[in-house]
Amino acid sequence: MDVADLTLDELRLALAPGIADSAVFDGWSVEALDMAADQLGADRDVARLAFKDDGAMGMICAWIETIDRQMTLDLPPETLAAMKIRERIRSLVQYRLDAVAGQEEALRRALAIMAMPQNAPRALKTGWNSADVMWRLAGDTATDYNHYTKRAILASIYGATLAVFVDDQSEGKAETRAFLDRRIDGVMKFEKVKAKWLNPDRETFSVSRFLGRLRYPAR
């Protein structure tokens, strides 16, 4: 399809990978958007119109959405079905890390923008959506409170892993891989924690404290 025939929503997604490449040097800026438009062969004014209402945060969310979509194509449920649940989750998170390898500076700047108070609600929604995509690809069909706790925990683990990833100078990102494995161990132990939570004799269990320990674990 010709770039000129794309809708604005389609153009946002088409531009997003190029913006991320340019954001390594120019940040999530109009300059990065213009560079991506030139590389794609899109009109700069139309490209700016596609992100007119939400600027840098819109560019970042579009980038994340492209990763979600490509992950769905590359790791469909039937591909993951033969794996144990632990390996499914690890493979999905690792896929996302591999997708942004070489773009650590763009990711670092994106995380800083997403952490701004005015962007926090949208950042949380975006992280939740990515966690939901991963759990669905992993075969999760829960519709009760498990649906929410699984996604909250995975989004927390993924966010913590990204924070390690951007500063990881070890060969092959070995430190990040080890960190991720430890966090996934926590997910696998959740069923045991849940059983204690549901036990009326365990009134002192704190869900927020448990999630906090996953989000800010000792390294």
Residue by residue, what is the 3-state secondary structure of the chain? CCHHHCCHHHHHHHHHHHHHHHHHHHCCCHHHHHHHHHHHCCCHHHHHHHCCCCHHHHHHHHHHHHHHHHHHHHCCHHHHCCCCHHHHHHHHHHHHHHHCCCCHHHHHHHHHHHCCHHHHHHHHHHHHHHHHHHHHHCCCCCCCHHHHHHHHHHHHHHHHHHHHHCCCCCHHHHHHHHHHHHHHHHHHCHHHHHHHHHCCCCCCCCHHHHHHHHHCCCC
Q: Quote the pLDDT of residue 150.
A: 87
Domain boundaries, the chain: 77-215
Q: Quote the pLDDT of residue 190.
A: 65
Q: Quote the pLDDT of residue 78.
A: 94
Instruction: Report pTM.
Output: 0.85
Q: Quote the pLDDT of residue 112.
A: 97
Tens-digit pLDDT profile for the chain (219 aa)? 689 899 999 999 999 999 999 999 999 999 999 999 999 999 999 999 999 989 999 999 999 999 999 999 999 999 999 999 899 999 999 999 999 999 999 999 999 999 999 999 999 999 999 999 999 999 998 888 888 988 999 999 999 999 999 999 999 999 999 999 998 887 777 656 666 666 655 544 455 555 555 555 555
